[in-house]
Amino acid sequence: MTDIKEVWIFNGANAKFPSAVFANKEDAWDWIKRYHLTGVLTKYPLGVSVYDWAIGSGNFKIRSERDSTPEFIGRFSSAAQEHMHFEDGNFD
């Protein structure tokens, strides 16, 4: 069995929470196409927060006290994460 190091998470348009998590991008694409979904598919590191991943990979630098607050960290996302936009099941 292969150790999973990343997952693909789909967030539908205007959704507050993700609707699916996949171990590989191909399965996610198939599902999105099958249901003609609109939203964003994003790759997330598994076992580490996006905040810590972004700092560790050099994609984010803490510049102020605000950047270390629980509210900031809890809402953090990174444009450096691989992500794809879909409309009606088609890659945009």
Residue 1 has pLDDT above 90, yes or no: no
- Could you read off the pLDDT of 15-32 as tens digits, one per residue? 999 999 999 999 999 999
Domain ranges for the chain, please list them.
6-91
Residue 4 has pLDDT above 80, yes or no: no
- Could you read off the pLDDT of 33-83 as tens digits, one per residue? 999 999 999 999 999 999 999 999 999 999 999 999 999 999 999 999 999
CA 20 to chain CA mean position, Å: 11
Residue 2 has pLDDT above 80, yes or no: no
DSSP 9-34: EEEETT-SS--EEESSHHHHHHHHHH
Q: Which helix (H) or strand (E) holds 37?
A: none
Residue 92 has pLDDT above 90, yes or no: no
3-state DSSP assignment of residue 54: helix
